[in-house]
Amino acid sequence: MDPLDVLTSLDKTLPYYQAIFSADEHKIIGYEVLGRFQTESQVESLGPLFHDEGIPDEYRIEMDRAVLTKALEHALEQEDVYQIFINQNANLLMNDHGESLLLLLKSFESRGLSLKRIVLEITEHDFKGEIDQLHHLLMYYRTYGIKIAVDNIGKESSNLERIGLLSPDILKIDLHILRKTAMSQSYQDVLYSLSLLARKIGATLLYEDIEASYQLQYAWRNGGRYFQGFYLHKPSPTLVKADMLKEKLKEQFETFISHEKKKLLAIHQLTQAFEMKMQALIQKCRKLQLYDEMIEIIANELSKSCFRVYICDENGFQQSSNIIKKEEMWIIESQYMNKNWSWRPYFLANIMKMSYDKKGILSDLYSDIETGESIRTFSYPLDDQHYVFIDLSYAFLYEKDAL
């Protein structure tokens, strides 16, 4: 599509709307505005032109403003109040320090459009300028009630420090990689880290590019409050009823809840089973003087479920060797003696919890540093100062479907 054809026929530009659904109300809370152009034969996306840096900045801005103006005019005509998500290229925005966009938005505010309905979407990893200047601009926009969303997280390399500095109200996480049937555990861990970041900075998670039920389930399970994608609603030139998927989403979320409760019950039952096994094993080990003898007994008794066992004191210093299963044989690795593991996330918190509760803890699923496999660790207090750590194998967890 020739940008000059668009610029000479701005009356043929169209705003299309893609609905954004909420997890708490199961209804549409807003729409993302997308640029389209009506040719003689079809409607084409303006996205490629907006992202083409070979097109002069002023041309791209003019096309964007034409679409945005029509979308805001449309919003004024509607009885329903919805959030309006507008994409802005951060580099273009900084050309005039955001003044022209703000003037346009304020002109509609004077006609009755609350700027609290505006969500400004930017893509952090595309920005080439000084991040502090962008931060100051976005803070200025916030004084008018405008919300800030950082877009396309997960699609390209994103700098978490820069995202944290921008302090967005919404993080938009792209789930395009979930279309692959074998998404790596490491990528899932990255998305989980983003959910933790959102919690730390007080941002809401919006998962986009949802094209199947399992992606919706993943987004729901990983802290998503808002959802967007072709599975829910394809972009259209008209708005739709806010509750169009209310019953469908309610049913799906009830299925997700049931599945998650089943998983949590399985985790609780496994924890209880290991708790009982360890209580019996500790009785066998009470007369032993050496921790290496103790881990051998534990490893052999739990051989079908674990692949590594070791003992640490309350400060994380390893008091035993590692005993690790290799080719169905248990091998003592004495070089791990006296290593300290207190730097690991949640290590000391779990030690304190076990010390207080006098019970074992089953960890969440994580990637083992040495094997790269997805594992869980069962930790158990031997006494007030020593704790045994039992790494459960991927093969064992795979057999337990919910784990």
Q: List the one residue out of 326, 328, 333, 305 whose CA is nearest residue 371.
A: 326
- The pLDDT tens digits of the residues spanning 305-356 come to 999 999 999 999 999 999 999 988 999 999 999 999 999 888 999 999 999 9
pTM, two decimals, is 0.86
Please say which residue of 193, 209, 241 terminates a domain.
Answer: 241
Regarding whether 180 and 81 lie in a shared domain, the answer is: yes
Q: List the one residue out of 19, 13, 128 whose CA is nearest residue 73.
A: 13
* Distance in angstroms (rounded) separating the CA atoms of residues 39 and 93: 28
CA 224 to chain centre: 7
Residue scoring higher pLDDT (337 or 179): 337
Regarding whether 230 and 270 lie in a shared domain, the answer is: no
The band of 192, judged by pLDDT with boundaries at 50, 70 and 90, is confident
Q: Which two tokens stand for residue 304?
A: 């079908």
In the chain, the percentage of residues whose pLDDT exceeds 70 is 95
Residue 153 has pLDDT above 50, yes or no: yes
Residue scoring higher pLDDT (398 or 109): 109
Lookup result for tokens 């009755």:
112
Residues facing residue 385 across a β-bridge: none
- The pLDDT assigned to 365 comes to 86
Residue 154 has pLDDT above 80, yes or no: no
- The pLDDT assigned to 181 comes to 47
**What is the mean predicted confidence (pLDDT) over 63-71?**
96
Regarding whether 145 and 50 lie in a shared domain, the answer is: yes
**What is the mean predicted confidence (pLDDT) over 195-199?**
83
Please say which residue of 214, 241, 268 terminates a domain.
Answer: 241
For residue 317, tell me if it sits in a domain. Answer: yes
Residue 163 structural domain: 3-241
For residue 45, tell me if it sits in a domain. Answer: yes
- The pLDDT tens digits of the residues spanning 106-120 come to 999 999 999 999 999
- The pLDDT assigned to 388 comes to 96
For residue 253, tell me if it sits in a domain. Answer: no
For residue 247, tell me if it sits in a domain. Answer: no
Contact indicator for 263, 403 with CB cutoff of 8 Å: yes
The band of 180, judged by pLDDT with boundaries at 50, 70 and 90, is low
Regarding whether 375 and 283 lie in a shared domain, the answer is: yes
Regarding whether 331 and 196 lie in a shared domain, the answer is: no
For residue 171, tell me if it sits in a domain. Answer: yes
**For the chain, how many structural domains are there in total?**
2
For residue 111, tell me if it sits in a domain. Answer: yes
Regarding whether 363 and 297 lie in a shared domain, the answer is: yes
Residue scoring higher pLDDT (154 or 272): 272
Under DSSP, the state recorded for 236 is B
For residue 20, tell me if it sits in a domain. Answer: yes
Regarding whether 137 and 265 lie in a shared domain, the answer is: no
- The pLDDT tens digits of the residues spanning 370-390 come to 888 889 999 999 998 999 999
Please say which residue of 210, 241, 272 terminates a domain.
Answer: 241
- The pLDDT assigned to 362 comes to 95
Regarding whether 136 and 183 lie in a shared domain, the answer is: yes
Regarding whether 345 and 209 lie in a shared domain, the answer is: no
Residue scoring higher pLDDT (350 or 400): 350
Separation in Å, CA 45 to CA 13, 42, 291:
10, 10, 67
The band of 163, judged by pLDDT with boundaries at 50, 70 and 90, is confident
Beta pairing, strands 204-208 & 170-174: parallel
**What kind and span of H or E run contains 188?**
helix 185-201
- The pLDDT tens digits of the residues spanning 206-241 come to 999 999 999 999 899 888 999 999 999 999 999 999
Q: List the one residue out of 105, 91, 16 whose CA is nearest residue 53.
A: 91
| CATH code assigned at 285 | 3.30.450.20
**What is the mean predicted confidence (pLDDT) over 298-302?**
95
| CATH code assigned at 151 | 3.20.20.450
Start-to-end Cα distance in the chain: 50
**What is the mean predicted confidence (pLDDT) over 74-78?**
95
Q: What is the average pLDDT value for the chain, to the nearest integer?
A: 91
Indicate the burial class of 68 (C-beta count within 10 angstroms; 0-12, 13-18, 19 or more): buried
Regarding whether 309 and 169 lie in a shared domain, the answer is: no
- The pLDDT assigned to 177 comes to 66
The band of 255, judged by pLDDT with boundaries at 50, 70 and 90, is very high
For residue 250, tell me if it sits in a domain. Answer: no
The band of 156, judged by pLDDT with boundaries at 50, 70 and 90, is low
Regarding whether 178 and 37 lie in a shared domain, the answer is: yes
**What is the mean predicted confidence (pLDDT) over 142-167?**
81
Regarding whether 218 and 71 lie in a shared domain, the answer is: yes
Any idea how long the chain is?
403
* Distance in angstroms (rounded) separating the CA atoms of residues 235 and 15: 10
Residue scoring higher pLDDT (27 or 187): 27
Low-confidence winner among 33-37, 166-170, 283-287 (lowest mean pLDDT): 283-287
Q: Which two tokens stand for residue 340?
A: 């300290």
- The pLDDT assigned to 403 comes to 66
